[in-house]
Structure 1
Amino acid sequence: MKTNRLLLVCCGMLVGCVPRIEVAAPEEPITINMNVKIEHEIHIKVDKDVEALLKNQSNLF
């Protein structure tokens, strides 16, 4: 009888420990700042100019 009460109390305590997950949207909108610098084309043009200069004047170095 004593073990039944103990078991009942333990089960009652475990029922109170129910995991709860909340998913809520933020109040403010999500903003993504897209400040991206693209310099790839500039570097290619400079590299081609340097190659042409070295091809024309091979005595620079």
Structure 2
Amino acid sequence: MISTMALVMLAAVACTPTVKVEAPPEPITINLNIKLDAEVRLKIEEQAKDDITNNPGIF
């Protein structure tokens, strides 16, 4: 009886799936330069429009 239970437990443990969590070989890179660049350009354009409106003789 004991050997039968030992065999059943051994079979149950042997069939347990293995899950591995590994980091990717290369680091994950998130490039936000496009969004930041567009935001900076928009602010500069708005400031330029305000400057031209406030000082029409500049150009």
TM range (shorter): 0.3 to 0.5
Q: TM-score, normalised by structure 1?
A: 0.38
If you compute each CA radius of gyration, which structure gives the higher value, 1 or 2? 1
